[in-house]
């Protein structure tokens, strides 16, 4: 009897009251979260966009548009040198903040470790994603021999193989009335060279003059993702796995030295399943790290130079006056070309590689005099720094002269106060890019050989700037850029 009565009472409870109680609880919790995030969160004392103080909407929206680096630059200009861009994330711009975040370390272990920003939950972090400082140090040591001076000299013929193939293609196709899309062709050469240098995989983009599934399915939004993970395309997964298996089987029998040789030497035992997964992820990192930055660098050095005829004239003049024959062009002969180096540095400044922010986790330490609580994420406004008038004169323009030594005849005193010593395109500290020497060697070879061989003509009506033509989604989404290649006549 009593149980029936209780059941009846329960059934008679007003459903509207239950809904009201639930909504009230939700509102109460949301109010609590709002008050805490806006007034009491460790990042609350720093200014920033209003939405960033109580949600991640501002951060997410700017990323979705591809304009995140520019939005950060505007926020830093408006709010000051430290800006809250998300609930638990701060952006800095001063040179001191950069060294505090990225270069502070003890015994090779960084004080500000990586965040979950690029963690896709794959189980194996390879090299680029590894958050644990000790594990990263060990993995970096294992890969480092691939980029020694001796190793790079042995790999230079592979770099030349693809640059020379590009030059030959342009002799045949580059002067056509319709021109060629330099963005597509630089993607092809960079991916061909990177895959071959990484694990002796030949993709034949330049040879076949079309993109493979490997490149077509490669989403620019996911930087450093191994091909077998980033796509559900069965053909790509199968092709990548077969290529890796083939490289393992060919240990000691490949035609040239590649990075894989340092990961799994010929004398090493057959890798376990776990070791094979690590190889797959690490090779994926090396392929992408050798593709996207190189493709952007060689495309944009030529593109920006064409928009600045005076800079192009100086660059071409230096290359052609110092190199009598095509065969004279090599890493050693290019090392002394100051304007070539300056042009590549200026391209790195304009298209700064770390424009995604490179977030790190504060251990509870000071960043440029500001104490940042443990667990708060911090990052740097790389693009903002390169455009800030305090650090670079005429920062939105392509001006290679700013990187010349002061005793160079083309050095311009307008740039005497530029903070060139604080620009580190390959970062600093334990996480600095191990592939920097290869990148310099490869980009110098390409730009020098191409500009020695051709006068490049930009097709009309192409007003491309970083602001209107580029978007950042972890990698740069670059515009198409149409040009003609006219072989230089060198009659005896």
Task: Pick out the residues of the known binding site for heme.
Answer: 433
E-assigned strand segments in 288-363:
360-361
Number of H helices, E strands in the chain: 21, 13
Q: 338-350 vs 292-307: helix axis angle to the nearest 10? A: 110
Please list the residues that pair with 86 across neighbouring strands.
89
Could you tell me if 100 and 259 are in contact, meaning their C-beta atoms sit under 8 angstroms apart? no
Q: Which residues are annotated as a binding site?
A: 433
Q: Which residues contact 157 (CB under 8 A, 6 or more apart)?
A: 256
Please list the residues that pair with 367 across neighbouring strands.
370
Instruction: Give the whole-angstrom CA distance, residue 105 versus residue 123.
Output: 26
Which of 433, 436, 443, 424 shows the shortest CA–CA distance to 386?
Answer: 424
DSSP state of 114: B
- The alpha carbon of residue 422 and the mean position of all alpha carbons in its chain are separated, in whole angstroms, by 19
Torsion angle of C-alpha atoms 408, 413, 414, 415, degrees rounded to 10 = 60
Which of 121, 120, 99, 119 shows the shortest CA–CA distance to 111?
Answer: 99
Angle at 317 between CA 161 and CA 467, to 5 degrees: 80
E-assigned strand segments in 234-384:
360-361, 365-367, 370-372, 377-380
How many Å is the maximal CA-CA distance in the chain? 115
Could you tell me if 274 and 280 are in contact, meaning their C-beta atoms sit under 8 angstroms apart? no
227 CB burial (10 A radius; 0-12, 13-18, 19+): buried
Show the tokens assigned to 87: 């609930």
Q: 338-350 vs 309-322: helix axis angle to the nearest 10? A: 140
How far lies 48's CA from each of 12, 288, 359, in Å? 50, 34, 17
Instruction: Give the whole-angstrom CA distance, residue 238 versus residue 169.
Output: 30
Sheet (strand 82-86) strand order: 82-86, 89-92, 377-380, 360-361
């Amino acid at each position: 009897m009593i149980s029936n009565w209780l059941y009846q009472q329960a059934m008679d409870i007003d459903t509207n009251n239950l809904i009201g109680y639930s909504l009230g609880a939700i509102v109460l919790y949301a109010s609590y979260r709002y008050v805490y995030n806006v007034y009491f969160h460790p990042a609350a004392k720093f200014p920033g966009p209003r939405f960033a103080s109580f949600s991640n909407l501002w951060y997410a929206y700017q990323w979705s548009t591809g304009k995140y680096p520019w939005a950060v630059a505007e926020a830093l200009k408006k709010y000051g040198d430290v800006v809250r861009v998300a609930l638990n994330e701060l952006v800095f711009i001063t040179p001191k903040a950069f060294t505090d975040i990225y270069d502070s370390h003890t015994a090779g272990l960084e004080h500000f470790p990586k965040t979950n920003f690029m963690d896709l939950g794959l189980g194996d972090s390879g090299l680029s994603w590894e958050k644990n400082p000790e594990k990263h140090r060990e993995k970096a040591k294992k890969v480092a021999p691939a980029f020694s001076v001796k190793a790079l000299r042995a790999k230079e013929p592979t770099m030349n193989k693809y640059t020379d193939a590009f030059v030959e293609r342009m002799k045949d196709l580059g002067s056509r009335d319709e021109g060629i899309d330099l963005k597509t062709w630089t993607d092809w050469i960079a991916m061909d060279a990177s895959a071959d240098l990484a694990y002796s995989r030949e993709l034949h983009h330049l040879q076949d003059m079309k993109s493979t599934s490997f490149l077509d399915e490669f989403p620019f939004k996911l930087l450093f993702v191994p091909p077998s993970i980033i796509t559900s395309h069965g053909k790509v997964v199968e092709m990548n796995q077969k290529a890796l298996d083939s490289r393992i089987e060919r240990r000691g029998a490949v035609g040239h030295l590649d990075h894989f040789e340092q990961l799994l030497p010929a004398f090493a035992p057959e890798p376990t399943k776990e070791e094979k997964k690590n190889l797959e992820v690490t090779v994926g990192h090396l392929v992408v790290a050798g593709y996207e930055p190189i493709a952007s660098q060689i495309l944009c050095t030529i593109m920006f130079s064409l928009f600045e005829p005076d800079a192009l004239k100086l660059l071409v003049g230096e290359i052609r006056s110092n190199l009598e024959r095509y065969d004279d062009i090599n890493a050693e002969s290019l090392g002394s070309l100051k304007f070539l180096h300056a042009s590549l540095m200026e391209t790195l400044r304009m298209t700064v590689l770390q424009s995604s922010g490179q977030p790190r986790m504060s251990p509870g330490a000071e960043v440029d005099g500001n104490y940042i609580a443990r667990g708060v994420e911090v990052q740097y406004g790389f693009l903002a720094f390169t455009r800030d008038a305090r650090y670079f004169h005429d920062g939105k323009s392509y001006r290679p002269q700013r990187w010349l030594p002061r005793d160079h005849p083309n050095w311009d005193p307008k740039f005497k106060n530029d903070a060139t010593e604080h620009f580190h395109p390959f970062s600093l500290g334990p996480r600095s890019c191990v592939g920097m020497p290869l990148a310099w060697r490869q980009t110098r070879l390409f730009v020098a050989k191409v500009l020695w061989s051709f006068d490049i003509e930009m097709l009309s009506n192409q007003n491309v700037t970083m602001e209107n033509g580029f978007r950042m989604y972890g990698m740069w989404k670059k515009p198409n850029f149409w040009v003609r290649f006219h072989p230089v006549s060198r009659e005896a």
